[in-house]
Structure 1
Amino acid sequence: MRAGRAERGRQARKERRDRVEELAGVMTAPEVPLVWRAGWRGRVTGAVICAVFVALTEHPAEASLAHPQPGALFYALWTSLVVGFPCCWFALWRVTADRDGVYIRRLWSTRLLPWSTITRVEMRRDGQLEFFGRTPEPMAGFFAPPWMSRVARSDRGSRAADTLSAMALHGDLRPTARVERGLTGTGLAPWIILLGVVLYLAVEFLPHWPLA
């Protein structure tokens, strides 16, 4: 069984190398930076998570609003921030490639991975791009997982991984322009805090309509 699994792994890696080289043979260097970001599915997912959280969270009674307890307020704000993280991760992720490297949006900032540190990029089963290189590199993006891509007949994440891999291997295929710093986006933390506060206010002060 192990031998068969190893052989399938080698075959998959070979097919992927061949696919990247085939793509490199027909690619030309883009004149503008390439940007991959959350699509409408990611934004809808984030909005649904927010709506479900507000609808299912127990709203405080009027008496508790008049005399709020510090512990309860802290818990409500903390849970709102925790929910805000996946919402922003689904809806606001961004990967930008320019002539210097790949900018990936992280929690606290946008990080630049120079091309010299990237050897290949692969699409993970969870939909994230994994960067391989001379030093441990982070993961980025949040595309539809492979099984969902097959159902939707869209391989956007795999194409992004192959495109970035081809650019990492062939310097003449990289974008010729440098992205403006403001277009790479800030880290996710400010958006998580803002969304967390909005969710907290919604839970605390909006009328509660039961789902039943």
Structure 2
Amino acid sequence: MILSTEPQTGGGVAAWAVDLMERLGAPGAGLAVALENLFPPLPSEVILPLAGFTASRGDMSLAAALFWTTAGSVVGALALYLVGAAVGRQRIRAIAARLPLVRLRDIDRTEAWFARHGTKAVFLGRMVPIFRSLISVPAGVERMPLPTFLALTTAGSLVWNAVFILAGYQLGESWWRVEAYAGVLQKIVIGAVAVGLVWFVATRLVRLGR
């Protein structure tokens, strides 16, 4: 099969995803998504709509696209969870103690917040660009029960994947347009993170000055 990879998309990423799907079918889409979880610069906003377009052509079923991409999401998230579990709380605290402007009570507050809201964070975090991969690490650090983590990750990933796959399925040859709209959300998230970091550094420097 030959799929359309419009220049407006990620270019090499789209071509790479196409190659995986041509070689492996739906499991290739799952492998691409698993790697996207481990390497966030690989955009799921390209891979998932492309999988939906592929399904619209009949080269894979819609159910297979949803199943394999969600399985790939869970595998990638599990790998990051295990990284967090291997690092552990004590090493995180030791690293934080050496960082400028960071205090151990900041870590304590973060842990307390995660204890209260961790389940919501893992579920909803799977639907937020950038955080959808990173949220698995603190879940591992805090040793969230693995069955809970897997259930929440599966549910959140299925929602995220379904939105983009169905969009690509409906748009057909114009599947690449999805990335433009998703890019707006990603810019908002990046902007919010940047503002938060600036606020944190500024307030901490003011306190130190006093």
Normalised by the length of structure 2, the TM-score is: 0.27
Q: Which has the larger radius of gyration?
A: 1
Q: Which has the higher strand share?
A: 1
Normalised by the length of structure 1, the TM-score is: 0.27
Q: Which has the higher helix share?
A: 2
